[in-house]
Structure 1
């Protein structure tokens, strides 16, 4: 597929998939229309970069469907003052999109080879304000606090440690629940208690370590 085909496919993705799924934020649409999604995928899957599919990255991780990525970015309403943490974005694409919308982005990835590939793709696209760190979201620690967190995988219940990484009044996009009826929500770290807004229903692979405990039947 030549670059012209990719450009056309990117345009069609935005107009036929993302926008019809209620992604109407012009800044998000502009980023998705210009950032080459194929550059963040394994070579074997690049021709499917703009299909309405979750694509395998290796180690059981997936790049989310473009429509879910668009809704996540729109829900966070990122602006040039935001410091963003992206969890579970193995490809680096969401970190790149956030980097075009926010001040600074830290992407957390468990697997060193995926982290290196994501870092290389970010560098190749000159997204200089997004950085990838190798770490597991359930053991990693940081003193930093973020105004926005984007979690690119599902959890059974929302981990308190994720909320603790938010600044006061910060917000987090996350998908919670049990397959196949999961719920995407926006969590706001209000003064008294987190406030949760339901966004849409979906079904995503769990983050490693975030799946529900097995139920044993006797």
Structure 2
């Protein structure tokens, strides 16, 4: 029998803190949120491994390291409005921190259910963040996503400013693609 409480603590100590995630709110929330309840039945033992376990057919959670680093880069603050796109674990962590979170799991993931989000996060890799995602950001709103067109992706944060949209790369990552967001394959000589 797996002691999930001990596994959560070990995850934070060995996969999160050792990767320069110093945001105490993110650490505390990850110690509290039962990640094992989000993975496919019979796969709870994979929830705290250094991997991205499947939570629904074709959908995966980001690895603990990647989701922690992405959350820290987004600097979530209690009271903010967030959108979690195919991101059930990130949503639960953000709720624990004190954000109001909408979840987008079904249907067209490129069409947002609202706008003026302080924070948007996605737990799957995409070739490029759709314009609708960045358009859904409030002033000073942040989008955290991993963009990938080859074997290694880049976790990026988009920030809506008065003058437009800023983009910065924060770390390398290799999660699975979110279904429907893979790079288009073309013919080249």
Secondary structure in 2 aligned to 1:86? strand
Instruction: Note if 1:137 corresponds to 2:85.
Output: no
Distance 2:133 2:64 in 1: 24
Correspondence for 2:168: 197
Distance 1:211 1:8 in 2: 36
Q: Which residue, 23, 26, 29 being the options, matches 1:25?
A: 23
| 1:170-215 CA distance string (max 9 Å, x none) | 1110111312121101110111121111100111222232211112
Distance 1:103 1:217 in 2: 46
Distance 1:80 1:13 in 2: 23
How many equivalent pairs are there? 189
After superposition, residues 61-76 of structure 1 pair within 5 angstroms as: 61-76=59-74
Correspondence for 1:83: 81
Correspondence for 2:47: 49
Unaligned runs of 5+ in 1: 111-134
Distance 1:18 1:104 in 2: 24
Distance 1:16 1:217 in 2: 43
After superposition, residues 1-218 of structure 1 pair within 5 angstroms as: 1-2=1-2, 5-89=3-87, 92-110=88-106, 135-138=107-110, 140-217=111-188
Greater percentage in helix: 1
Secondary structure in 1 aligned to 2:42? helix
TM-score, normalised by the number of residues in structure 1: 0.81
| 1:51-93 CA distance string (max 9 Å, x none) | 111112232111111111111211111111210001112xx22
Distance 2:176 2:150 in 1: 8
| 1:4-47 CA distance string (max 9 Å, x none) | x1111111111111110111110100011111111222221101
Distance 1:181 1:17 in 2: 19
Distance 2:56 2:105 in 1: 12
Distance 2:133 2:186 in 1: 25
Q: Does the 8 Å contact 2:140/2:159 carry over to 1?
A: yes
TM-score, normalised by the number of residues in structure 2: 0.93
Distance 1:142 1:40 in 2: 23
What's the Cα RMSD here? 1.6
